[in-house]
Amino acid sequence: MTGSSTYLDYNATAPVRPQVKAAMMAALDLVGNPSSIHAGGRAARAVIEAAREAVAALIMVPAQTIIFTSGGTEANGLAIESAVAAGSRRLIIGATEHDCVLETALASGAAVEIWPVDANGVADLAWLGERLARWDRADGRPFAALMLANNETGVIQPTGEAADLLRTYEGWLHVDAVQAAGKIIVDGRGCGADTLALSAHKLGGPQGTGALTFGPRAVLSRRLHGGGQERGRRAGTENLPGIAGFGAAASAAMTDMAQIKMQAAWRDEAAAYLKTEAGIQIVGEGATRLPNTLCLAKTGFSADLQVMALDLAGIMVSTGAACSSGKVRPSPVLTAMGLEPLAGSALRVSGGWDTTQLDWTRFAQVWLEANQRHQSRRPASAA
């Protein structure tokens, strides 16, 4: 809850945490380029390295495997473009991946194959096993991208099993953990990832900052040229306040994991109420999902009208991926799940570090009233 409004759009971006603002303000007060060897430069460098430790701790990886980037999009791009530069000529991309993964793969010059999901949005492991079994060595090392959790549905993917399959063929698994980090415990290597992407603004940090972590089997190449920052892997003077804020967000996210877990009970209570009272469908209900995300659909009540009705009551939610808003097309995520008929009426509600049970209850009540008004205005034949 923020003032008189209720913010339930954390998967688009989370409110910046107070600790993050403090860390960013302190970083802005520093004078010095982190690459300078004088005292000011060393102070800036210390802030970056402390943030690197904090981000690494959040996902349980060594700090020296963290490369700071300008966000999740760049981190995903760095992994995919590195794999192509290292010789992968065919990329397997999960059917519900974020646009920045799919579009980067399509733009990379490599062939792209879409890895299907089932009706709950879970990647089909049998398909992957079968596809890898007939891999053509001329296509180079197999590369697959599978997100840890989906931004629209919250569905969690079997990355560990996918990694086991890929390892048999010396493949590379890239995991987009942008939505998962800070919402569930993420074990950066244990989840099977050779590379894994993060974004600060999804966990209460600033927008425009992210990271890629890499394991021993990933071959990363330099995508931005110039200085030797980030051990030569990402040139450009570091975003000191952004990185400081990311570190503070990562530390805070580690301490409020229990609060985030509670979201699941509050969300499920709201969803059960709306199911009983209004017959909503819950997308991905049969899969393990993030605790904070609810994707619901009510045929005949368009997602745009739902968002507008809630907005008038001060409740902020989303019709789908905010990153792709403005593009008039059915959600590729729901389409991949075989749920295209629901896509026009699917709503994404997502809480986070500052969300209370009251926020979920208020959302459910206001949504129900809006639905009742909408249904009463519809001609009987359309009901």
The set of catalytic residues is 323
Binding of residue 348 to ligand PLP (CB under 6 A):
no
Q: Supply the minimum distance, in Å, between the C-beta of residue 165 and ligand PLP.
A: 22
What residues from 216 to 275 belong to the interface with ligand PLP (CB under 6 A)?
Answer: none
Binding of residue 323 to ligand PLP (CB under 6 A):
yes
Q: Supply the minimum distance, in Å, between the C-beta of residue 276 and ligand PLP.
A: 31
Q: Supply the minimum distance, in Å, between the C-beta of residue 198 and ligand PLP.
A: 8
Binding of residue 48 to ligand PLP (CB under 6 A):
no
Binding of residue 141 to ligand PLP (CB under 6 A):
no
Which residue has the closest beta carbon to ligand PLP? 72
Q: Supply the minimum distance, in Å, between the C-beta of residue 239 and ligand PLP.
A: 12
Which of residues 142, 171, 210, 242 is near ligand PLP by CB under 6 A? 210
Binding of residue 72 to ligand PLP (CB under 6 A):
yes
Looking at beta carbons only, is 179 or 229 nearer to ligand PLP?
179
Phi-psi region at 290: left, alpha or beta (left = phi > 0; alpha = psi -120 to 50): beta
Which of residues 100, 218, 287, 310 is near ligand PLP by CB under 6 A? 100
- Round to whole Å and give the CA distance between 161 and 183: 21
Q: Supply the minimum distance, in Å, between the C-beta of residue 70 and ligand PLP.
A: 8
Looking at beta carbons only, is 295 or 321 nearer to ligand PLP?
321
- Round to whole Å and give the CA distance between 2 and 214: 37
CA angle 287, 311, 320 (to 5 degrees): 35
Q: Given the rule CB under 6 A, which of 65-73, 183-191, 238-246, 350-358 is the region that contacts ligand PLP?
A: 65-73
How many residues are listed for the chain in this entry? 383
Q: For the window 168-207, what string marks contact with ligand PLP as x by the rule CB under 6 A? A: --------x-xx-------------------x-x------
Binding of residue 306 to ligand PLP (CB under 6 A):
no
Cα separation of the two ends of the chain = 34
Q: How many residues bind ligand PLP (CB under 6 A)?
A: 16
72-105 in b/e form (b: 16+ CB < 10 A) is bbbbbbbbbbbbbeeebbbbbbbbbbbebbbebb
Looking at beta carbons only, is 179 or 331 nearer to ligand PLP?
179
Looking at beta carbons only, is 263 or 318 nearer to ligand PLP?
318
Binding of residue 147 to ligand PLP (CB under 6 A):
yes
CA angle 15, 212, 204 (to 5 degrees): 10
Angle between helices 257-278 and 240-255 (to 10 degrees): 70
Looking at beta carbons only, is 132 or 322 nearer to ligand PLP?
322
By CB under 6 A, name the binding residues for ligand PLP. 71-73, 76, 98, 100, 147, 151, 176, 178-179, 199, 201, 210, 321, 323
